[in-house]
Amino acid sequence: MARMMKVAIVDDEEDMRQSVSQWLALSGFDTETYASAEEALKVIGTDWPGVVISDIRMPGMDGMAFLKRLMGLDSGLPVIMITGHGDVPMAVEAMRLGAMDFMEKPFNPDRMTELAKRATQARRMTLDNRALRRDLAEGAQVMGKLIGTSAAMERLREDILDLSQADGHVLIDGETGTGKSLVALALHATGPRAGKKFVVVSCAAYAEEALSAKLFGPVEEGGSLPLVEEARGGTLVLEDVEALSQSLQARLLTFINEQGTPAETRILAVCNAHGEGRTLEDALRPDLYFRLAAHKITLPPLRARGEDILTIFTRMAEQFAEEYGCDAPEVSAQEAAQLLQAPWPGNVRQLINVAERAVLQARRGSGSIASLLMADNEEAGPAMTTEGKPLKEYVENFEKMLIDNTMRRHKGAISAVMDELCLPRRTLNEKMAKYGLTRQDYI
């Protein structure tokens, strides 16, 4: 639904303000009147949802000074100037400064209506385009947090981009720490609901009665809306959906059925039932499960993502090193192999924690990555995965990480990288091509 544009009428003469306001109101515009530019500037700012009609000659801040202030706040704001007899040269100067158009007193009502119509249409398009750019930027930013080039991550990103355009609800499944909440945000931020409400609730964080009131109401006087109302038209994320009681599952199913198809509010159900000896199908009534699982995304465990382990560790270690004001720890070939072989029961979340602790250890000049892995996995036995990998894969993963790290440190300076790695240019070029690394990514 198109947003309603306002028309701000700024004139020190009350009769003129009221005359313009009444005519435009009769023509279907939402008008606001201000007796001075100073008064109007208290309300009008960047991305203000409307247009401005202002007299040129006013006491205090005149129309020209007012126009300059408005253009400084938002150069895309349409401003129509009202001029008196003999003020046409001033009006032409106003258009040079950014005014959309001008009209002379006594004004022609039909021309004023037409100008207001064109101005509001232009303003709506400007604001919609800005919102779209912001949404696209947010979507790209969120997708950029899904680090990794493994086949599993490439498929995950493709699934997100495909399902973000769909209307059906989505079930997001995967082991703890794999990034399910981030995927939910990515589905919202890259789809047509980006910019609309994104509401998240953990179904395991509340007792049944409190969760029922939070989701469906009633709310206490002066309280916020129930979440199903707050999220209307946008996305509602139900984390720990398996924790819903049978009665709340019934209410949720009723809400979903009442929405019809396509659903006004999209539900993203995040499942954290792994390791509890049951599946989501066991926890939810079948009719609700199949409504929520219209589409399904299962996140891959970190141990199945190969070289992504080294990529994420390196990226996070660099970020933590910058945060703590020290150098990132250098990873030896043996440590790289240990990172690749670790079982990672806590997945990406655990890896990030290990990267932070490795930076803190390096800052103190003690400890090793191996000791961190042993401490994290001592109950899981030796730090080895059940999926054996050939030595060649470990070597290649480490080699790619080493070149990537060195290129980042030297910001793409090939000569410096060649010197540090003792590689001739041709060999470095061949290895970069082999691993899909390009100099432009580091400049």
DSSP states of 396-426:
HHHHHHHHHHHHHHTTT-HHHHHHHHT--HH
Bridge-based pairing of strands 266-270 and 295-298 is unpaired
State the DSSP H helix or E strand holding residue 172, giving kind and residue range, or none if neither: strand 170-173
pLDDT digits (tens, 9 = 90+) for 49-85: 999 999 998 999 998 999 999 998 888 899 999 888 6
Element (H, E) at 170: strand 170-173
Residue 59: per-residue pLDDT? 92
User: Which of 10-24, 404-418, 421-435: highest mean pLDDT?
Assistant: 10-24
CA 292 from centre of chain: 23
Q: Which residues contact 441 (CB under 8 A, 6 or more apart)?
A: 407, 412
Domain ranges of the chain: 4-127, 145-299, 301-378, 389-439
The chain-wide mean pLDDT, for the chain, equals: 84
Q: Taking the domain 301-378, which CATH number applies?
A: 1.10.8.60
Q: Which CATH class is domain 145-299?
A: alpha beta
> For residue 329, what pLDDT is reported?
86
Radius of gyration of the chain (CA): 30
* pLDDT tier, 391 (very low <50, low <70, confident <90, very high otherwise): low
Report in angstroms the alpha-carbon separations of 313 from 17, 167, 310, 334, 412.
64, 35, 5, 15, 20
Percentage of residues of the chain with pLDDT beyond 70 = 89
Other beta carbons within 10 Å of 382: 10
Domain 4-127 class in CATH: alpha beta
Q: What are the respective helix, strand and coil percentages of the chain, to the nearest 5?
A: 55, 10, 35
**Residue whose entry in the numeric block shows the structure tokens 């199913």:** 253
Widest pairwise Cα distance in the chain: 90
Residue of 366 and 272 predicted with greater confidence: 272
Query: Using the 8-state DSSP alphabet, how is residue 386 labeled?
Result: S
Q: What is the pTM of this model?
A: 0.61
Q: Encode pLDDT of 309-333 as tens digits.
A: 988 998 899 889 988 888 888 887 7
Q: Mark residue 390 as left, alpha or beta (left: phi above 0; alpha: psi -120 to 50; beta: remaining).
A: beta
Q: What is the DSSP letter of 330?
A: P
Closest CA to 99 of 126, 63, 143: 63
pLDDT of 8 reads 94
pLDDT in tens, 167-205: 899 999 999 889 998 899 899 988 888 878 888 989 988
Same fold, 4-127 and 301-378: no
Q: Which two tokens stand for residue 7?
A: 């028309």
